[in-house]
Structure 1
């Protein structure tokens, strides 16, 4: 019985040997697939970020219900007191509150990065033969969709309650485009905190400590001319003030060269500095 079993095993090996040789020759003969480009890898990770929204639609609460609440609350609470009527105040407020809302939701990029790190997903990303910054850039590209959605919701609500931009469609699109560029750059700050801090609650806490003073100490709600001199000095040099001014003027049909230059300059500086720090942390973490 033992001899028969041995003969059967040898026969199976002899039959399998040609198949194994053919398979080996086939694998060796094939060319390796090309390495994905930086753009392709980044777009893939951006698509992954959007799929997460698809599977957890509750994530869109902060870009739908929250902006609507802000527009209605600030317009009807402060419009009569600050501008005499809500109709006049909404013309000044909406571009500023749009800037504030989009800048505030950029912090969720850092929260998403931190969540993936704690789950061990980034360990897998680091082993892939892809452009190293692709996961980070993908997060930011995916979040651009959230910024566009928040902008569309706020503009729709503003139009319903009386916002009428003198710059027309082109002015509105130019203002939103500038805001998206700045938000993309500003998100690099939170990716750094997402890598640096241990928990997502820590990321949110630090983000709120930075965002709230930065957005409220600006010209989003009121003209800084009514503020004390020492506060005006800070507000007039704030990146949020420059951005809000540029968006407001573009939507009004003007061309604010100085505010545009400052906004794009801030965006470039933030991206260069915090992008470099983020990638250094990512490579070493």
Structure 2
């Protein structure tokens, strides 16, 4: 652990201080993972909605939904990228509830009384929450294969798609941490996170192409990060329809989604850490 007079922020100060901060993160991440093992319902909560969407959309509705100008892409192939992206949205509420619960129980205050880097509390929380995200993606991918999902790409593009999904989920974890610190009320967190899940999922191309939308609405939906991440994965996996439209995010979804996710992470992490410093001393 770092000394009481050591750096208060992750990555700040001397090399020894940075090493101590990394040790703090690893110790707290291990604590969260042990807690996850004792509360598997958290993993179920992350995976339940996406798995249900695979079964409902990819299996039950696939026979009655067709995609215009699909270029041979079946609906269950099209919808899988959107379902994977939905996992990241599900994490907003999970992480927000966890952070709010820790603050309400005084656990954050006890951590702050220890000689450790303050930022390690949130860094470890988001790092540990990324584990159920990865496990959920494996589960959703397995169910998708059972209902007929196939990719038409090499190993590197497939791995690139999943790396993008994990990066998007990591950004949403930090959004959830920020939401938990700002709201702190469990009912409010449940309501807002559920609303975000519905709006960002269905105001995107996760489950249906955008060709039928009016111009003004289509532009807004195309720039939705969920749309660009979903389309990028379709392109990388060979699941994209023949024509995706002429807009920048749909013509270059991999580039746009990489920039967007990177910008979200670059903004959300410092904002969340700054909010943590002020929220913890109220």
TM-score normalised by structure 2 residue count: 0.81
Could you say which residue in structure 1 is the equivalent of 2:252? 258
Shift of 1:112: 0.3
Match of 1:61 among 32, 37, 44: 44
Match runs of 1:216-231 below 5 Å: 216-231=202-217
* CA offsets 1:99-144 (integer angstroms, 9 cap, x no match): 1133223321111000000000000111222222111011111111
TM-score normalised by structure 1 residue count: 0.80
Shift of 1:178: 0.8
* CA offsets 1:43-95 (integer angstroms, 9 cap, x no match): 222222211111112222123443321101112343233218xx921111111
Q: Distance in 1 between matches of 2:213 and 2:17?
A: 59
Shift of 1:36: 5.2
Check the 8 A contact 1:45/1:138 in 2, yes or no.
yes
Q: Distance in 2 between matches of 1:77 and 1:105?
A: 26
The structure carrying a bigger helix percent of its residues is: 1
Could you say which residue in structure 2 is the equivalent of 1:189? 175
Residue 60 to residue 132, structure 1, CA distance change in 2 (3 Å): same
Could you say which residue in structure 2 is the equivalent of 1:110? 96
Q: Distance in 1 between matches of 2:266 and 2:85?
A: 21
* CA offsets 1:217-263 (integer angstroms, 9 cap, x no match): 11111111121222101111111111101111111289x99322222
* CA offsets 1:158-198 (integer angstroms, 9 cap, x no match): 11111110114433322111110111112211111111113
1:180 and 2:135 aligned: no
Q: Distance in 1 between matches of 2:28 and 2:198?
A: 29
SS in 2 for 1:83: coil
Could you say which residue in structure 1 is the equivalent of 2:266? 272
Aligned length: 250
User: What runs of 5+ residues in structure 1 fail to find an aligned partner?
Assistant: 1-32
Check the 8 A contact 1:36/1:130 in 2, yes or no.
no
Match of 2:30 among 14, 24, 47: 47
